[in-house]
């Protein structure tokens, strides 16, 4: 056997999504469809606060998020955060915003204890690895253990579910906040987080989410 083949045996690992052997963290069969889930339009500038959605919550991206959360694969979130960082670095609307303080949407401490990690925080950290922006998860605290937004039915139920779900400690923040979350459904979670930050005079400059649910899921 050739020496490089022997090295391959040592350095090949299993892709956490499909279990194929791969020299990279994710195999090429998973990477390609994941990249294909990227949204055609990264930024929605028509909203009062610009909203950036990296991808559509469907197919490969849905599977990757599920594997990350329910099969204990936190590194997938870091990887996807880095992908968001790379897209950000080449986007005209994003670059107009300059430096921001990155704040992930927190999980309730009890839920985080069960899962062992907060995927939104890992997305934010992966994003900051690439963009060199400061990451400050301590700027938001989740005080209410809410139901997943996708399990709530009406708009009113969503609002009640998230009413005063977050608080923010009084702190001086150098740059406006970039809120980061994994899935964007109705925007109610983000709205609730913005209320908590603005109550402390902390400005939210933009919102960045990994995946937006398609119309039929809303
Ligand atoms: Zn794979």
pLDDT of 1 reads 53
pLDDT of 12 reads 75
Radius of gyration of the chain (CA): 18
Q: 16: CA distance to ligand 1 center in Å?
A: 7
pLDDT of 217 reads 44
Q: 11: CA distance to ligand 1 center in Å?
A: 16
Q: 19: CA distance to ligand 1 center in Å?
A: 6
Q: 90: CA distance to ligand 1 center in Å?
A: 26
pLDDT of 215 reads 56
Distance CA 23, CA 13 (A): 6
The answer to whether the Cα torsion of 208, 209, 214, 215 is positive or negative is negative
Q: 101: CA distance to ligand 1 center in Å?
A: 33
Rounded to the nearest angstrom, the gap between the alpha carbon of residue 166 and the centroid of all alpha carbons in its chain is 17
Q: 52: CA distance to ligand 1 center in Å?
A: 26
Q: 158: CA distance to ligand 1 center in Å?
A: 35
Q: 151: CA distance to ligand 1 center in Å?
A: 29
pLDDT of 182 reads 96
Low-confidence ranges of the chain (pLDDT < 70): 1-11, 147-153, 159, 215-218
Q: 185: CA distance to ligand 1 center in Å?
A: 27
At a CB cut-off of 8 Å and minimum separation 6, what does 102 contact?
124, 127, 128, 133, 134, 135, 136, 177, 178, 180
Q: 29: CA distance to ligand 1 center in Å?
A: 5
Q: 63: CA distance to ligand 1 center in Å?
A: 11
Number of neighbours of residue 91 by Cβ within 10 angstroms: 14
pLDDT of 218 reads 42
Q: 133: CA distance to ligand 1 center in Å?
A: 30
Q: 17: CA distance to ligand 1 center in Å?
A: 5
Contact 60, 210 (CB under 8 A): no
- C-alpha atoms less than 13 angstroms from C-alpha of 127 in its C-beta half-sphere: 32
Q: 22: CA distance to ligand 1 center in Å?
A: 8
Q: Which fold has domain 11-217?
A: Rossmann fold (3.40.50)
């Amino acid at each position: 056997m050739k020496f490089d083949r022997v090295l391959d045996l040592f350095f090949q690992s299993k892709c956490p999504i499909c279990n194929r052997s791969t020299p990279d963290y994710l195999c090429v069969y998973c990477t390609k469809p994941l990249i294909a889930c990227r949204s055609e339009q990264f930024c929605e500038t028509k909203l009062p606060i610009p909203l950036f959605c990296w991808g559509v919550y469907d197919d490969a991206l849905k599977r990757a998020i599920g594997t990350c959360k329910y099969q204990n694969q936190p590194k997938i979130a870091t990887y996807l955060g880095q992908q968001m960082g790379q897209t950000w670095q080449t986007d005209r609307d994003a670059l107009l915003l300059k430096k921001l303080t990155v704040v992930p949407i927190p999980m309730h401490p009890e839920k985080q204890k069960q899962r062992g990690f907060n995927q939104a925080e890992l997305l934010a950290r992966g994003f900051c690895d690439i963009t060199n922006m400061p990451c400050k998860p301590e700027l938001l605290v989740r005080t209410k253990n809410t139901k997943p937004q996708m399990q709530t039915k009406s708009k009113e139920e969503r609002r009640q579910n998230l009413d005063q779900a977050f608080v923010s400690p009084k702190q001086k923040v150098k740059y406006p906040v970039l809120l980061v979350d994994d899935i964007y459904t109705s925007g109610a979670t983000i709205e609730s987080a913005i209320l908590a930050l603005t109550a402390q005079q902390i400005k939210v400059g933009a919102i960045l989410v990994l995946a937006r649910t398609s119309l039929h899921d809303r």
